[in-house]
Structure 1
Amino acid sequence: MSQRIVVVGGGFAGASVARRLERRLPEADVRLVSPDDYMLYLPLLPQVAAGLLPAPAATVPLSSRLRRTVLVPGRATGVDLEAREVLVRSITGNDQVLAYDRLVLAPGSVTKVSDIPGLREYGRGCKTLAEAAFLRDHVLAQLEIANTSTDPDERDRRCRFVVVGGGYAGVETAANLQLMTTELARRFPRLDPSLVAWHVVQHHDALMPGLGERLGEDTRRVLESRGVHVDLSTGLSAVDAGSVTLSDGRRLATRTPIWAAGIAPSPLMGRLGVDTDHGRLVVRADLSVPGHPEVFALGDAAAAPDLASGPGAVCPPTAQHASRQAPVAADNVAASLAGRPTRDYRHRDLGMVVDLGGHDAVAKPLGIDLSGAAGAAVTRAYHLWALRAPSAMTRVATNWALGALHGASAVRLGFLQGASGRLADFEHTDDYLDPPQVREAVGRLSG
């Protein structure tokens, strides 16, 4: 009987594990649980939202990477570690149970939502492909409505956009969308481009503090030179249908509060009944779960020891670590099945890149601060390299060239119809079950 391996999560981490397992264990029954049939390259989502890239450009089809792995189109909503069973809610809404001999957890992360009045109802995100497409439609709709409105207050509300979060995702979202709205506003006959206002609200005293003071200041200068209002040491206090209230008491009229203030591990990690660290599953250096050597976890959802940084350090939730943990996790699954010793994960972070749209970017490869043309060149080159798929690389590079010649696309695709826009609805954060609930659901299915 072939060994049953279930991989949860179809991102670059999970898909890379499955692909390597195909080579390491050609006789194994490998199942990949994912609601989508593609790997999503998250750093390109701000450019999808800004119309610079079409949605498929930020993806790599799983069918192009996997040959023998069976794709289970659904979401793992719970795991019974004792029974070694995964409960899966399929994309049709039906539940099924997958038994496993080895389990690999790589479900990624979701938007971290604070307990701020109105945020869950009115906050908009840019963490999934659907959210990016929805956000683009929403922003375009605001400009179109403002163009036809005769109410000055309404026009002001529609033309103001507030991004809460001055980290990598928030800065890239604000920077790329600001360029799009400024360009498109000039095409509307009754809309003054000077009405379009963007705000970045950051609770910290610097933008992207992980990149250092110099690059944070370079980024701030770029944004402010475009007219973006940067509010540091400021938080969000409340959101309603037509405004946001900041921690300093200011109330900004807006129909577009964009929440980009961090990420949280998949809620599945907190439902397993084992130790977590700030929501991330605690794992050993070989990526196995203490007390459950048949379970491995990696990526944003795992708190893996960062051996390259010293005792007590934990790998940050970055795509760089997730992609490099994948071969270690796959090799350790194969080793554990064969009764061989596993190996520890060790990798030193190579730096970060931040695309500010147009010809602007900042980067810190190998600890070297880069901005301007040099930063943009390194950033674009890194993104193409990270895609790892020739078709995806060609698609992205071609659309960058078209964008440089013709600007961003100004077509709404209809995603506003029938969609609430709520973070929980797009990211399905309310779908997960505790082990007793999993056993109850499995019992119903088997009965």
Structure 2
Amino acid sequence: MKILHTADWHIGKKLHKHDLSQDFELFINWLCECIDTHKVSVLLVSGDVFDLANPSSEARNQYYRALMKLRRFQCKIILTGGNHDSPAMLDAPRELMRELDMHIIGGLPENLEDTIIPVTNKDGIPKLVIVALPYLRDSDLRSAYDGHTYTDRIEALRKGIQTTFLQAAEICNTSYPGIPAIALGHLFAAGIETSDSERDIQIGNLAAFDANQFGDYFQYIALGHIHKPQQVKSQVPTYYSGSPIPLSFSERKDEKRVLLLDTDEGFIPESIPVPSFRKLLKITGTLEQLQLKLESPGDPGELQSLLEVILTEEQYDADKILLFDELITGFDIPGFEIVKHRTDFKHQLKGAADLYKNSQQLEDLKPREVFLELITKHECNQELHQEILSAFDELLQEVEMDENTAL
């Protein structure tokens, strides 16, 4: 049996206001060919299907069109929600999707047994069990008695994740003894590399989950949430497939991929590269260097190439800022678009206010960065510092969710 693992589609994503719907459409067309070529029986999507909890009608249409394209190849589709997804929205058509052999689990069900999905052969005999665990939210994992300090809450989250996976393993062992099992998860594992496109949901590395706590029952753990493809050190094969298309300029050099397992040969996946449909180019230099580089940025890709341009100079110079802005405004080469630009003066402080003076775009300054700049000016011990930061992150997440709901 062949199983394909992907994650972090982020349908509806915009890269500095540039719509990436064409990128996703080309990926889905390629994925259909891949499934057909390799005769895939099961497609696993480990969370963050959408980029926003309340996606636009265009993003929802693209999602359903993608599922219907994939369904033509008669493979079982198992899809879970991520931290960017609305559990209610994904779960709404669950029963209808199940009739089409698509299993959608947006949020953790009340009964953990509902995450257990057997994969049978033509005779109806289970050959594999999939544990489709979505992103586990605080409300799924913590109780009011888990402690009040930052450290207590983080430990409760880790313990809750571990307990959920171990309980799911016990259900599989009881209901399907001797049958190989694969688990899906959407979380932040310790020791991995992140990119700029991952939002700070947990607070630093203190919230990272030790993958050894998954246990040794599952034959493979298919993870989502981290966009850089990588293996996680664990007792069993544990992998992030990564996002299939670049979602930030920090991912421009990543080799995007999907992972293919052949259970007849084992549970170490084969990495299948996803074609690059669009170039993301980061161009840096002095004003004179940028003038030369932007005259001939290279060969365009299948889709319009997107550019991030950074002016780097030793000393702050208002005249060069003006000339830089004129260079950006006057750039007009078919097949290329500058979507982000900023300045970097080496001999100037890099505080938030200074970045703003240097013509830093407002979208480059994250609320968390501004808040960190503020609290560093006040003396407090490390535990209080973490408590304040934890409270700010919770408030920021609520504001972002409210904004997404209002869209």
Q: Same fold (TM over 0.5)?
A: no
Q: What is the TM-score normalised by the length of structure 1?
A: 0.29
Structure showing greater relative contact order (alpha-carbon pairs closer than 8 Å, 6 or more residues apart): 1
